[in-house]
Amino acid sequence: MTTRRPPWVLAGVLAGLAGLATSYATAMVLTIRESPVVAVAEQVIRLAPDAVTEGAISLLGTLDKPALVIGILLLLLSCFAGAGALARRGWWQPVLVWVALGAVGLAAVMGQRGSAPIDAAPVVVGLLTWVTVHSALTDALLRARRRPELESRERRVFLMVAGAISVASLGIAVAGRFVGAGRRHVEVSRRLLRIPGVTRRQAPPATSLGLPGVAPWQTPNEDFYRIDTTIALPAIEPEDWSLRIHGMVERELTLTYSELVARTVTESWITLNCVSNEVGGDLVGNARWSGVRIADLLADLGVSADADCVLQTSHDGWTCATPLEALTDERDAMLAVAMNGRPLPIEHGFPVRTIVPGLYGYVSATKWVVDLEVSTFADSVGYWTTRGWSAEGPVKIASRIDVPRSGDEVPAGEVTFGGVAWHQQTGIAAVEVQVDGGAWGRAELGQVPSVDTWVQWALTVDVPEGDHEVRVRAVGKDGATQTSVLRSPDPDGSTGLHTIEISASA
C-alpha cells in the first residue's frame, strides 16, 4: 500500500467529491443559484466563441449543457485524482491544484450577473472540505508508509474513513437539496406569477444623455445593489404571505397576498439608496416599482393622532421605524410587489417589500415585510438605530461622476464628464462641475418624470494637458447647494463632493 498509487488517487478523488458535496449543499441552502460547477459551465458558454457554442449545439443538440457539466465534472475528477497522486510526494504538492481550482470557482461565481458576496460561500466551503478531507486521508497513508508493520491496521482505518466520508458526502448533498428545495420552489412560483396592474415593459419616461459609462437611468434588477443582514434569504410563497397592520389604529387589518394585489396598483419610478453609501459610491439604483400605496391602506384604519411612526418587521426579523408622515403624505410610499415590471426578485424582498421615496433604505425599505405596527418613535427602535444610526433618515442631496473614472488618462482638449445626481422628494435643479478649483460649469440634465428619481448629467469641458482634479456638486430644486463638508455615512448619510483625478495627455 505504501508504494502503490491507487490509495493516494482514491484519497484525492474522495476528498474532492466530499468538497463537491458540501459546496453543492451550501449553494442549495444559502443562495438562489445552482452549484459552482454550473456557474463554471455558464462562464464557459459565455466566454466560448460563438462558433464553438453553435458547433456544440449542432453536434449535441439540447444535450450541450449537460454534456458540458459532465465534462467539467470529469475534469474535476482528474484534478482530484492528480492532487491525490501529488500528495504521495509531499503534503504540500497539491497546493497549486487547490489554489487554481479555487480561483476558477471564485471567478465563475463572482462573475455571474448580480452576484453577491454570499455566492462565494459554496466555493470556500467546498475548498475547505476538500483540503481537510484530503489531508486526513493522506495522513493515514503517510503513517502507513512510515510504519510498515502497522500497514494493515492503517489500511483498515483508511478504508473506514474513506467509506464514512463517501456516505457523509452523499448525505450532505441530498440534505442540502432538500433544505434548499423551498427556496427553489418559491423562485418557480415567482417566475410564473402575473400581477394585475403591473406593466411588464415600459420605456423609461426620462431622456438618456447616452454617455457611455454613465449608470443607465433605469437600473436592471440584476445590477441593483443589495443590502441585507440575513444569511439565508427568506423563502416565502405568495399564498403563505400575509401582512398585519396593527398598533395605534381603531381597526386592525390582516392582508393576504391576493387581497393586496386586488387593490389598486400604483407604478412609480423611485431611486432607492443606502445610508452607507460613500461619496461617489454605488449603493444606489433607480427602478420602476409597482405596489399598493400605504397611505390608502392606513386611511381606512383610523390611525391615532398620537402616533408618529410605523414599526416595520420583516420575515427575517429585521426592523425599522418609519415616520408616519412619510407613509401618509402625497408621496408614493408603497407595499411594492414588482420591480421593473417583474415580481420582486427574492433577494429584493419577494413577495412584498416597502418603498418610501425620500428616505434611506435602513429606515424605510423593509424587504419581506410581514408586520406594520403604528406606534411612536419613543416606543420603537429599528435594527440599525440600536446600532448607532440616526432614527430619521431623509436622503441627502448627492452627485456622482461616472465618466471619466478617477485615474483615467484622457486626450487633452474637449472632455465630456457625466454621471448622476439625486435628491428624492426635492429634485435636482442643476449639476455643476469644477476643474482644478476654477469656475463651476453648468451641466446639461436629462429629463425625469418626478423629483423621486436620479438625474443623468453631462458636461463637456476643455481640459489642458496635465493632471487635474475634477469635482461635482448638485443644486436642489429648493435652491440649496450640495455641501463640500466631508462626512462619513455614520450616523445619517455621507456628505462631501465626489472628486476624481484624471490626467490629460496631448
361 contributes a contact to Mo ion by CB under 5 A: yes
Describe the strand order of the beta sheet including 409-411 as a list of residue ranges. 409-411, 499-505, 466-476, 428-435, 440-442
Identify whether the C-beta of residue 291 lies closer than 8 Å to the C-beta of residue 338: yes
Q: Which residue is nearest to Mo ion (CB)?
A: 274
362 contributes a contact to Mo ion by CB under 5 A: yes
Identify whether the C-beta of residue 411 lies closer than 8 Å to the C-beta of residue 504: yes
218 contributes a contact to ligand MTE by CB under 6 A: no
Write down the least CB distance from residue 367 to ligand MTE, Å. Answer: 4
Q: Which of 389, 315, 386, 323 is nearest to 359 (CA)?
A: 323
Computed from CA positions of residues 190, 192, 196, 200, in that sequence, does the dihedral angle turn out positive or negative? positive
Binding piece for ligand MTE, criterion CB under 6 A, among 73-81, 251-259, 366-374, 385-393: 366-374
Q: Nearer Cβ to Mo ion, position 16 or 382?
A: 382
Binding piece for ligand MTE, criterion CB under 6 A, among 120-128, 162-170, 218-226, 288-296: 218-226
227 contributes a contact to Mo ion by CB under 5 A: yes
311 contributes a contact to ligand MTE by CB under 6 A: no
271 contributes a contact to ligand MTE by CB under 6 A: no
| Residue from the set 158, 368, 377, 457 that interacts with ligand MTE by CB under 6 A | 368
Binding mask 317-356 for ligand MTE (x = CB under 6 A): -x-----------------------------x--------
Indicate the SS3 state at residue 370: strand
Q: Nearer Cβ to Mo ion, position 229 or 406?
A: 229
493 contributes a contact to Mo ion by CB under 5 A: no
Q: Which residue is nearest to ligand MTE (CB)?
A: 361
Q: Is the peptide bond before 404 cis (omega within 30 degrees of 0)?
A: yes
Q: Which three cell numbers stand for residue 421?
A: 445626481
From ligand MTE, Mo ion, none, which one binds at residue 328 (CB under 5 to 8 Å depending on kind)?
A: none
Lookup result for grid cell 453648468: 442
| Residue from the set 314, 416, 424, 456 that interacts with ligand MTE by CB under 6 A | 314
Describe the strand order of the beta sheet including 398-403 as a list of residue ranges. 398-403, 413-422, 455-463, 444-445
Write down the least CB distance from residue 276 to ligand MTE, Å. Answer: 7
361 contributes a contact to ligand MTE by CB under 6 A: yes
Q: Which of 383, 270, 389 is nearest to 326 (CA)?
A: 270
Binding piece for ligand MTE, criterion CB under 6 A, among 174-182, 194-202, 225-233, 411-419: 225-233
CA separation for the pair 415, 296 (Å, rounded): 49
Binding piece for Mo ion, criterion CB under 5 A, among 79-87, 222-230, 232-240, 460-468: 222-230
Report phi then psi at 490, rounded to 5. -70, 130
44-78 as b/e: b if 16+ CB within 10 A: beeeeeeeebeebeeeeeeebeeebbeebeeebee
Interacting residue ranges for Mo ion, rule: CB under 5 A? 227, 274, 361-362
